[in-house]
Each structure stands twice: as structure tokens, then as C-alpha cells.
Structure 1
Amino acid sequence: MSDLATLRFFSTPAHACSYLEDHQATTLFVDPHARITPALYNDLTRMGFRRSGDYLYRPHCGPCQACIPARVRVMDFSPNRSQRRIMARNERLRVEVVEPRFTNELYQLYSRYIERRHGDGDMFPPSQEQFASFLMSSWSDTRFCCFRDEDDQLLAVAVMDQLADGLSAVYTFYEPNRPELSLGTYAILWQIRHCRDKALPHLYLGYWIRRCRKMRYKEAFQPLELLRQDVWGEYP
């Protein structure tokens, strides 16, 4: 059995940063052969690691330190006026929480989302293999939260992992042709409420990057806590 004391880590060579132009990045990975238990996954998440498929990683870029782990303090969260409007706009959506799976319906939504919203990123072009290897894991307690309208059309999917002290928002993909619904924001608001219903104190949102527009949206969910020098503290 692996634990933090015996765990091995590997780092990648420097490569182009996905978030900041003209920057080089290095990624630290947990030994892919390690046995990841729920307790170990929780400890690593609290240390700023994220899951991609079966892999656990965190940025390890020396002096840059631009990627800062972020989590919402759920019990103290209160939606602002804009968020309340988004919640009202989507109140008729039905949410079905299911085991991770591959279906053509899920994949078609994922594919449209990647093509329309991330056509210039590392995840383009999408593929069925990418869908499974990125979102699913052989060891995590993962759920797909499927948001459907009154006609049963699938509009969004929030992929989340259950932890001892919260939920990890792994990824959300949604219908790119419905921008008026603000589905990405609504998925986070729903997960915050789900945490509260389950008496879980934190929703882990991944990395906040001040200089990257796509990663600054996390600032809207207050109180937000950031991991700096291995200590969680309140934003900013």
C-alpha cells in the first residue's frame, strides 16, 4: 500500500505552458504504479494535486508559481446577484447523478464542447479514447452529474470525485450553443449546493491563474481559499 511517506514522484521535461504564452512548464506526477486509496487521494488533493484519468499531477514550475490550487469554503458561500439569476434561469433543469460511463450522447456533447470552446487548446481534436482516459479512473469515486432540460435533452455534464473533506470538480462540459444559460457557472453552483447537502466543507476547483482569463472565473465563488506555500488561506 502506498502512502505519502513512500510515494514516488516524477517530473516532465520543460514544455510549452498551456495557460501563459511564452512560458515553459514542468509537471510533477505521482508514480502511476502506486496504489491510490481514498485517503491518499484526499491528502494529495489537499496538497494541490489534480486528477486526469488515473494520473495525479500538479504544476512544478520553479519560480513561476502562477497556478494556485483553489477551493470554495462551501458552508460560508452565498451566491451573488448574478449567480442567483443563473440559478433561477436553470431551476427547471433535472440533474441525474450516474456512474462514469461512455455513451454516444455524452461523447457527442463533449466533442461539441471541445471543438467550439477549446479548438485552440491541447485537447483538440476530441476523441472517444481521450474522453475515457481523461474523465474516467479505475480508482476514484467519480460521478457524472448530467443536467437535462424538460425535453430530456442533455445540456451539461459535471464530472466530480468524492473526497473525505469535499468534492473535486474534475471537469465540466456543456452545450456550447446555449450561452444564455451560463451552464458552466450553474454546474459549479449546483456542486456547491451538493457539497452543502452532504455536509462536505470544500469544493476543489483546480488551479486559479490570475493572468489567464479562462482560469480566473474561480474568483466569482467566494469565499475562495488558495494554497500558497503549502498553506490554505483566503483569497486574494
Structure 2
Amino acid sequence: MNTQATQSPQFYLTAPAQCPYLEAERERKVFTHLVGPRAGEMNDLLTQGGFRRSQNIAYRPACENCRACVSVRIVAEEFEKPRSLRRIISRNSDLAVAERPAIATAEQYDLFRTYLDSRHQRGGMADMTIDDYAVMVEETHVETRLFEYRVSTGRLGEEGELVAVALSDILVDGLSMVYSFFNPAYVKRSLGSYMIVDHVSRAQRLSLPYVYLGYWVKGSQKMDYKKRFQPQEHLTGKGWERAKVEEPVE
């Protein structure tokens, strides 16, 4: 009897479900488990192949009649900062950022709950409890970090208000933004965009070529913000190619 564990991941297909981005479409996903000593290596390879991570699952769309979801990554070394992004950086110059291990806190969950109640009341995460949030953050077999963004008090040793959080994976070729959330009351700060710019700067300092943003969905207005981060590459049938996207509006 052969008891040697397989070294190849096993892939599975979900049942059809309502697409959260395009009302007329049904989505399916192909997924595999990210566990064991090779989880980090597999996460690198699968992310490069257009997969996303959620806890110990790596998945990508496998829809029968739709190809609207496109994997996007920013080319960090050549990143451009149009006036709109420079203004966002200036508006958030008072924020202090701390990199922390992937350990959930009640303070983070309170902010997460505020974000969901404001932005995603009908989404699949709307009913998440603090225990669910802890699983989302801590159930990982890969190199994962939390980045906390706080309003600086200017006083040594004193932490200011937590206004944004990003859960991100450290890959061999970049940073992958798994999930981020922020206080929606600070709409003028454009905190979602600021966290992306901050990740690009971190990738540059670490000499990592890319920041992975997940999927851009053509026809979904809530995904259009990703087009402003250029230059970027999209995953096509021929591999990663420099994207031809509309110029960001100033």
C-alpha cells in the first residue's frame, strides 16, 4: 500500500451561484487547499496564475459563459503618480502605518464591522462574527501580514485612531492584497487607494516587482478604481501582458 502523500494539489469546482459583480451572470470557481509545508510555494505559483487566496483556499473564476474577471498586478518599479494620487498621498500624510503579524484584534473587527455595515450590507461577508473575522485573518499557512493605518497623535508611544487595515501576503515576486477595509466616514481620504499606493511603495523598498490587486471586472463600476494604478499587467491567455486601459481621470 502506498502511503506517500501526493505532492500535487487537488482542484475542485464549485456549483453555479449568483455573480456578485454582474447581475446577469452566474459564477463558478475552481479551488484548491493551501496547506502543509509547500503552501507558500503553491501560493506564489497560483497567484502568478491568476488565483486569489481566502484563508487556506486558493481560487479563481471558472465561469462557463463569462470571462469578465481579469487578474491585475501593478508594475511597482514603473509606478506612476498622477495628480489625483499625489493629492491622496498628501491628504494622508498624517497616517502612521504598522506592519503586524496576522493576529486578529477586537479593534480591527470593530472597524471591519463598520466597513461592512456601510459598504457591503448584502454581501457574502455581511454576517461575519468576530470569530469569523479571526479565521479570515489567522487561518493561513503562507507568509501573511496585517498593515494597520492610524491617525498619528504626534506623541511617542501613543496610538491614534485605527482608520484602515490591509491583510496581505508576501510573495516571492510581490505583495498580494488579500483584503482591505477602512472607516467609510473618511471618504475624502480615499483610504482604499492610499493603501494600494502604500503597498506599491513597500514593494519598491523590498525590490519586489509587483503588487497583486485581484480581479478587475469589466462592466462593474465598483472595480473601475483599479484602472488608475498604472502601469499594470493583465493575465491573458498568452500570459501577463501590459494592459491597455483608459487613462485615469484627474
TM-score normalised to the size of structure 2? 0.89
1:104 CA displacement: 1.1
CA 1:134–1:79 in 2, change beyond 3 Å: closer, same or farther? same
1:31 CA displacement: 4.0
Quick one: which amino acid aligns to residue 97 of structure 1? E
Percent identity of equivalent pairs:
35
Quick one: which amino acid aligns to residue 100 of structure 1? A
Q: What's the counterpart of residue 70 of structure 2?
A: 68
Show the 5 A alignment for 1:40-59: 40-59=42-61
1:35 CA displacement: 5.4
1:42 CA displacement: 0.5
Quick one: which amino acid aligns to residue 219 of structure 1? K
Show the 5 A alignment for 1:92-103: 92-103=94-105
Corresponding position: 1:11 with 2:13: yes
**Partner-residue secondary structure (3-state), 1:57:** strand
Q: What's the counterpart of residue 206 of structure 2?
A: 198
Stretches of structure 2 lacking an aligned partner (at least 5 in a row)? 154-159, 245-250
Q: Is contact 1:2–1:36 with CA below 8 Å preserved after alignment? A: no
Corresponding position: 1:231 with 2:239: yes
1:55 CA displacement: 0.8
1:39 CA displacement: 1.9
Residue range with higher mean Cα deviation, 142-151 or 200-209: 142-151
CA distance in 2, matches of 1:109, 1:40: 31
CA distance in 2, matches of 1:57, 1:210: 19
1:218 CA displacement: 0.9
1:144 CA displacement: 0.6
CA distance in 2, matches of 1:33, 1:156: 29
1:229 CA displacement: 1.1
1:135 CA displacement: 3.1
TM-score normalised to the size of structure 1? 0.94
CA 1:91–1:2 in 2, change beyond 3 Å: closer, same or farther? farther
Deviations 1:44-101 (A, max 9, x none): 0000010011111000013311111000000000111000000011112100100011
CA 1:14–1:34 in 2, change beyond 3 Å: closer, same or farther? farther
**Partner-residue secondary structure (3-state), 1:95:** strand
CA 1:7–1:182 in 2, change beyond 3 Å: closer, same or farther? same
* Count, aligned residues: 234
Deviations 1:172-197 (A, max 9, x none): 11011110111100000000000000
1:36 CA displacement: 4.0
Stretches of structure 1 lacking an aligned partner (at least 5 in a row)? none
Show the 5 A alignment for 1:167-206: 167-206=175-214
Q: What's the counterpart of residue 150 of structure 1?
A: 152
Residue range with higher mean Cα deviation, 127-136 or 71-80: 127-136
CA 1:211–1:167 in 2, change beyond 3 Å: closer, same or farther? same
Quick one: which amino acid aligns to residue 130 of structure 2? Q
Q: What's the counterpart of residue 219 of structure 2?
A: 211
CA distance in 2, matches of 1:73, 1:33: 29
Q: Could you say what the CA RMSD is over the residues aligned between the two structures, in angstroms?
A: 1.6
**Partner-residue secondary structure (3-state), 2:43:** helix
Quick one: which amino acid aligns to residue 202 of structure 2? H
User: Quick check: which has more Rg, 1 or 2?
Assistant: 2
Q: Is contact 1:2–1:35 with CA below 8 Å preserved after alignment? A: no
